[in-house]
Structure 1
Amino acid sequence: MACHEIAALRIGMMNVLGIKDQSVIEHEKNEIGPEALSHPGPILSLTSANNFEDLIRFFEASLTDLEQKISALQSGDPKIPYYTSLLILTKKVELDLKNSAQSFKTLYLDLEEMHDLVHEIYPA
């Protein structure tokens, strides 16, 4: 079992942040596996995300798939504790990702406000 959602998110985040570390990319792709990377879907899309909006959208879609996978498990399946833990982890990551995106939006807006303040203090 692998945390495909987390590995794919890490690759997508590398794209957004401009991190170019091929060894990490290969490690994460190995974690995901060739089957998940060869079929269209949220995991594959997440690996090619290049902005926060796409990261959030594709990560949320991958969580929907994860929830469906969990709901299909039979009672007593030995994978249930792992998938339950993974679901908790991914929910926390989803919240952190949304908060981070909001923080960057706030920073963007604050920069304009600070820029305007400088011009109020030192008119052109």
Structure 2
Amino acid sequence: MKKNLIILAEILVLFVFLRSDFAAYFLDDLRAATADKIEAIATMPERRELQKLRDSIRPHIANMNDAQKSYLEDVTENKDKLNRFYYLYCVNKDLNPYVYGANLVYFCGEVSRMGLVSS
């Protein structure tokens, strides 16, 4: 009987603790940190491919101005942005105010060559 009371008291203390604001804050931080780490692990191959693309275009874009370089860094941040850019400006030939002419042709060629766009 004494064991049952101790177990019941432990469950009650645990229940009260888990309903407290401190526990909610702590568990939310733990959940967020875990989710961030899982996302980082899941996107690691994608980030490596995009880094290879950035490394391959870096010598060619060295003569661009800072706004153009920043724009291409933003475009190569993730595959969704890269796919959107590729289909708008490489496939559909829409006008891009930052990257155009030989730079656009080179960038589109590199993206296509590396197979980074989904069909």
Q: TM-score, normalised by structure 2?
A: 0.28
Q: Which has the larger radius of gyration?
A: 2
